[in-house]
Amino acid sequence: MLSEAQGLPLAVAVSGANLHDSQAFKPLILGIPAIRSRRGPRRRRPVKIRADKAYYSAEHLRWLRGRNLIPRIARPGIESGERLGRHRWKIERSISWLFGYRRLTVRYERKGSHFLAFLGLAAALTCYKRLAKLTT
């Protein structure tokens, strides 16, 4: 799951249990929708990307810098995850919002496409509830 700074889901994906999370990193970044800015043309991507230590690799750093994104990824064995902890709780909260829907708590569907559809629906409902709360 990829979310914006306040925790609203931007992109969701489903992968196999035997697949490392870092292999889903690039498709999630490419799945970011256009960001609407108040002035000027629309930005196509965010400025900074924050991720866990699991996503730290020279290939990912080169790829992000090649796309003019600033990576904020803790280095394993060098930096503690505490600095990212003040941002990580937002994504953890977003994941708990999604899994608050009973259908997603246990995976009942045999096909990944069905689970992804329910996950997308839960993300849309989460965004709707959050935005409706902001407008009232």
Q: Is the pLDDT of residue 113 over 70?
A: yes
DSSP string, 40-61: SSPBSS-SEEEE-GGG--HHHH
Tell me the whole-structure pTM to 2 decimals. 0.67
Contact 122, 98 (CB under 8 A): yes
* pLDDT value, residue 99: 80
- The count of other CB atoms within 10 Å of the CB of residue 73 is 19
Q: How many domains does the chain have?
A: 1
Q: Mean pLDDT check: name the lowest of 3-12, 29-38, 120-129.
A: 29-38
pLDDT in tens, 32-63: 776 666 777 766 667 788 887 888 888 999 99
Domain that holds residue 60: 2-135
In the DSSP assignment, the letter for residue 21 is G
